[in-house]
Amino acid sequence: MCNVGKVVWAVHPVGQIFNIPCVPGLINTVASLAQVDVCLLGVKNTSAPVGQFDQRVRIAWYPITQHARHERFATLGIGYLLFGIFCLFKRRPQYILAIGLRGLIVGGLLAAIFRAKLVYNCLEIYPARATTGFMGSLAHRIEAYLNARAVATVIQDEQRSALLARVNGLRCHRFVYFPNYPLVSRDAPDPMGVENFKMSRGIPINKRILLYSGGLYAGVGLERLLLGLEKLGDDWLVILQSHDGILQLDRAVVDPMVAAGRLLVLQEPLEARAYEVLVEGCDIGLAWYSTSDENMKYVGLSSGKVGAYWSKGKPIIINRIPFFDVVCEEYNSGVAVRSMEDVLEGIRVIVSDYEKYSRGSSFCYKKYFDAEKGRQELQRVFV
């Protein structure tokens, strides 16, 4: 049953991949607000489960299914815009919630056509985009122009809002902070559920698990990490889980470790409950971000994987980047290391007092990935 109130159309011309919870997380939270009726122009993806949306969200599925991780905008965007105009004529919006840059471009046009207020949900920040040729410069100018005309920008934390304000030249702009919190149940872990999941995926029951969940791309450097874990004890298993089904790792490094039973690669994206059970069944979560890319260096509370790990009391190992280098040490929620060669030592530190680090992880989840605080701010936007 939908709320009766202001109509909000969420616009995101990208396939809804559930393993990335930021889109359904925000849309579901807006749908829970008082006096708000949320609709979504949704896109399905052939390679991944569709995001789990609240029953209060009215979804108009774009009739063309996305086949790649990112279709060319010309391929998807123009038809999506026309589809959006058709849908919005039938149910006129008071607000457009534009998600990501592609959503901002389409959403900005829809807001102008239907004279609706524009709210921008910034997913990624690219400071170098303006200097990457004509298309990059054009994309930057469009984003800055439309962002400045939005009544508010939903972003994950203060360090990211400061970066976006600098990049887009925003002054006296309204930011709403909403972390990329994982869509997890509040129920206690089900030991049998975890065991059954492990058996179905060929995961040994008696091994400790170091989990890396995210993009298994060539530029991440995971091969170097795997080589550095050769001295990890036989009682450990490393699991690499892809959030989008793309696997670009060097098989010369990966295959021998898989054959030796020291590594398991889960290439298929997982639907919500399966991903939650995977995290429940691991011991330590690994996150690694580029320090040369400001969008990644200041990832902060936009890190869905860290939110997922902490939600289940799993300590993290992460490279030393702003926010996490302080939080891990202050609250014992993990270990921030200087290089991939130090990951092994980080594992030893956590295992030496695992309960302390697990408690710290749970504390940080409650402190930082609290959707209720963001919900209260969102309520003040859609009034």
**Statement to judge: residues 358 and 216 lie in one domain:** yes
Q: What domain range is 93 assigned to?
A: 6-178
Which of these three, 151, 178, 205, is where a domain ends?
178
Which pLDDT value is given to residue 333? 98
Residue 286 lies in a domain: yes
Q: Whose CA is closest to 308, among 21, 50, 32, 16? A: 21
- Asked if residue 184 belongs to a domain, the reply is no
In a domain, 363, yes or no: yes
User: What are the DSSP E strand ranges found in 49-172?
Assistant: 58-61, 95-99, 117-121, 152-155
Threshold 0.85, pTM exceeds: yes
d(CA 218, CA 213): 15
Tally of domains within the chain = 2
Of the candidates 271, 328, 311, the one whose C-alpha atom is nearest the C-alpha of residue 181 is: 311
Assess whether 201 and 296 both reside in one domain.
yes
The whole-angstrom separation of Cα 45 and Cα 17 is: 7
Give the CATH number of the domain where residue 154 resides.
Answer: 3.40.50.2000
Domain assignment present for 379? no
Q: Which of 178, 199, 218 is the last residue of a domain?
A: 178
166 and 207 within one domain: no
| Alpha carbon separation from 296 to 8, 69, 150 (Å, rounded) | 30, 19, 24
Give the torsion through C-alpha atoms of 382, 100, 137, 114, to 10 deg.
-50
Regarding whether 251 and 285 lie in a shared domain, the answer is yes
**Judgement on whether residues 147 and 209 belong to the same structural domain of the protein:** no
Return per-residue pLDDT of the chain as tens, 383 residues. 444 589 999 999 887 655 567 888 899 999 999 899 999 998 887 655 566 788 999 999 998 887 765 666 666 778 899 999 999 999 999 999 999 999 999 999 999 999 999 999 999 998 877 677 888 888 899 999 999 999 999 999 999 999 999 999 999 999 999 998 776 665 666 667 888 888 888 899 989 999 999 888 887 788 888 888 888 888 999 999 987 777 888 899 999 999 989 999 998 878 778 888 999 999 999 999 988 889 999 999 999 899 999 999 999 999 999 999 999 999 999 999 999 889 999 999 999 999 999 999 999 999 998 778 788 889 989 87
**Domain identity same for 211 and 77:** no
Domain membership flag for residue 373:
no
Q: Check whether residue 138 and residue 276 sit in a common domain.
A: no
* DSSP codes of every residue in 137-195: HHHHHHHHHHHHHSSEEEES-HHHHHHHHHHHT--S--EEE---------SPP-HHHHH
Residues 174 and 195 placed together within one structural domain of the fold: no
3-class DSSP state of 59: strand
Do 280 and 341 sit in the same domain of this protein?
yes
Q: Is 159 found in the same domain as 240?
A: no
pLDDT digit string, tens, across residues 71-104: 666 667 788 999 999 999 999 999 999 999 999 9
Residue 109 located in a structural domain = yes
Q: Which of 178, 207, 242 is the last residue in one of the domains?
A: 178
H/E stretch holding 287: strand 284-287
Asked whether residue 67 is assigned to any structural domain, the reply reads yes
In a domain, 1, yes or no: no
Same domain, 95 and 225: no
User: Same domain, yes or no, for 305 and 354?
Assistant: yes
Q: In angstroms, rounded to a whole number, what is the distance separating the alpha carbons of residues 40 and 88?
A: 10
